[in-house]
Amino acid sequence: MISRILFVVVSVWLAIADLEAREDWITLENCRLVPNAANDGDSFHVSVNGKEYIFRLYLVDAPETDAVNPARLVEQAKHFGMTVPQVIEVGETAKAFVGEKLTEPFTVITHMANAMGRSNIERFYAFVQTKDGDLGEQLIANGLARIHGTRATPPGASNSAAERQRLEQLEDEAKRRKVGGWGKSGQPLNMASATPQPVASAAAPILVTPAPAAPTKSTERAADAGKLDVNTAAEKQLRDLPGIGPVLAQRIITARPFRSADDLKKVNGIGEKKYEKIRPYFN
């Protein structure tokens, strides 16, 4: 009797697995990232064909960017061997990393499986392909996410176990190189200390993107020509500043008006060190 029950259970499980494997993926080309305060390293608003979606990456979990979910923060801190404040800092770095990777049109591949979420816009699980390859793999390779979450077999792969093994190899390499969250366990985090390193992959090399340590030529020219007005500076001018990417530039614009440039310290993602770097460029 027991053997017959087991046979039925296994048969049903195999049938479901086979159905999932044969289900067609939906491929959405020319997707664009939609700036939104709720975006983070593994979940973000996307616009395609005139419609807005929220997509959540399969198989990876980027650190939180706030303290809304304390239990998740503690889990992530334990995984990377860091303090909770450092987890939030890595989460902000992961969010900025994704923002930079998605500045150009990208591809979303999804079954439109419900990923739940707190927004009134439905959120779906997906794989995201950039010009550098799979976004989830890039996050793991740069120490900006952990392997976690709903299993799925990527298009072209034989099973989800193969992709998980691939992610484990990338994570082991990130640990060895001590990049991202693996760089400063239990110590003040210094993302700028990471040296760009290629990761062996069938796709294009993945590079760690360190924060600029000094003003670029464009920012030097801006400083020579006159300081910026914090309430009127264009997005391109803000992005020319050291350590300011598209996501942070949008946050500055959204937070306006400021009483003075000193209020930049109140913008999420601008810590004391970054503030000291960019403050001289404003009136």
What pLDDT score does 253 carry?
87
Of residues 215 and 46, the one with the higher pLDDT is: 46
The first and second tokens of residue 93, run together, are 């770095």
The CATH class, in words, for 217-281 is mainly alpha
Residue 193 has pLDDT above 50, yes or no: no
Query: What CA–CA distance (Å, rounded) separates 39 from 247?
Result: 9
Residue 192 has pLDDT above 50, yes or no: no
Q: How far apart are the first and last CA of the chain?
A: 81
Q: Kindly report, residue by residue over 107-148, the tens digit of the pLDDT.
A: 999 989 998 877 778 899 999 999 999 999 999 999 999 999
Query: What CA–CA distance (Å, rounded) separates 145 from 51?
Result: 28
Domains 22-193 and 217-281 share a fold: no
pLDDT-derived band of residue 237, with 50, 70 and 90 as boundaries? confident
Residue 218 has pLDDT above 60, yes or no: no
Give the residue-averaged pLDDT of 162-184.
91
What pLDDT score does 250 carry?
85
What pLDDT score does 112 carry?
92
pTM of the model: 0.60
Residue 214 has pLDDT above 80, yes or no: no
Query: What CA–CA distance (Å, rounded) separates 204 from 22?
Result: 28
Mean pLDDT of the chain: 80
The CATH class, in words, for 22-193 is mainly beta
Report the candidate in 252, 271, 279 with the shortest Cα–Cα distance to residue 37.
Answer: 252
| Domain residue ranges of the chain, discontinuous segments joined by + | 22-193, 217-281
Of residues 103 and 226, the one with the higher pLDDT is: 103
Query: What CA–CA distance (Å, rounded) separates 242 from 273?
Result: 11
Q: Kindly report, residue by residue over 88-107, the tens digit of the pLDDT.
A: 999 999 999 999 999 999 99
Query: What CA–CA distance (Å, rounded) separates 65 from 17?
Result: 35
What pLDDT score does 201 carry?
43
Residue 21 has pLDDT above 70, yes or no: no
- List phi, psi (to 5°) of 159: -165, 170
What pLDDT score does 226 carry?
59
